[in-house]
Structure 1
Amino acid sequence: MSSINRRDFGIAVVATMLLSARAARAEDIAVHIDNFVFEPAQLTVKVGQTVTWTNRDDIPHTVVCAGKFRSKTMDTDGTFSFTFTAPGDYKYFCSLHPHMTGMVKVE
């Protein structure tokens, strides 16, 4: 391989890695916490996708799925992300406000 071909090959590899990373982020799912509600309250994702919760309320919230995941207390604009690696129904709630509930179905 000439030095030009190696350089072009290296550029192609880096470009492919960047595109793959962007594609993965494009599949991430957002849930917003606003006015004591998870929005959307229910969603369906594929194994390997990441859901990110963002607190838009002026008071703290958490995201808890018993035995699966637990966020720290999130202040305004705080976030929590979880990547789902197994299919199933993941019911979750806010431990500070248990009436706030949601569900992620993973296929």
Structure 2
Amino acid sequence: MRSLVSHLRPAAARCTPGRAVVVAMLFGPLVGALLAFGAVAAEEANAVTIDNFTFTPPELTVAVGTTVKWVNHDDIPHNVINKDKVFRSKALDTDDSYSFTFASAGTFDYFCGLHPHMQGKIIVK
């Protein structure tokens, strides 16, 4: 990235206002897409996907203070219930999500109350 910026800097110095608009139009969407991809990648690091009657990943390790987001991509409702009743979601329809912030360390086993064979675990350190 640094070499690209240093390569473009001399060209930008010669840039007229009209050329600046063209450059912004060409590179603006690319920069926006890269920033959006980074935000999605960061969000997915603490996300659990619900699909095909499974939680993926089935086990997730996070730091204290982390918010984990469950997203239902299945075509039927699911929910997320902690076995120790620390957290519980409502029924999540397709593409609905539920988030919970883990304020203390521990192991948090959870399951889908509608389909109890679906199980997962959050380990908070």
Normalised to the residue count of structure 2, the TM-score between the two structures is 0.64
Matched with 2:96 is 78
User: Aligned partner of 2:102: which letter?
Assistant: F
Q: Which has the higher strand share?
A: 1
> Superposed, which structure 2 residues align to 1:1-107 within 5 Å?
26=42, 29-65=46-82, 66-107=84-125
Query: Runs of 4 or more off by more than 2 Å in structure 1?
Result: none
- Work out the CA distance in 1 between the residues paired with 2:85 and 2:117: 19
Unpaired runs of 5+ residues, structure 1, are 1-22
Give the 3-state SS of the residue equivalent to 2:98 in structure 1: strand
CA radius of gyration, larger in: 2
Offset of residue 67 of structure 1: 1.7
Instruction: Give me the CA root mean square deviation.
Output: 1.9
Once residues 80 and 67 of structure 1 are traced to their aligned partners in structure 2, the CA distance between those partners, rounded to angstroms, is 15
Number of aligned residues: 85
Structure 2 gaps of 5+ residues are 1-38
Task: Select the structure that is richer in helix.
Answer: 2
| Higher relative contact order, structure no. (Cα contacts within 8 Å, ≥ 6 residues apart) | 1
Residue identity (%): 58
Q: Deviations over 1:27-63 (max 9, x none)?
A: 6611000100000000100000010000000000000
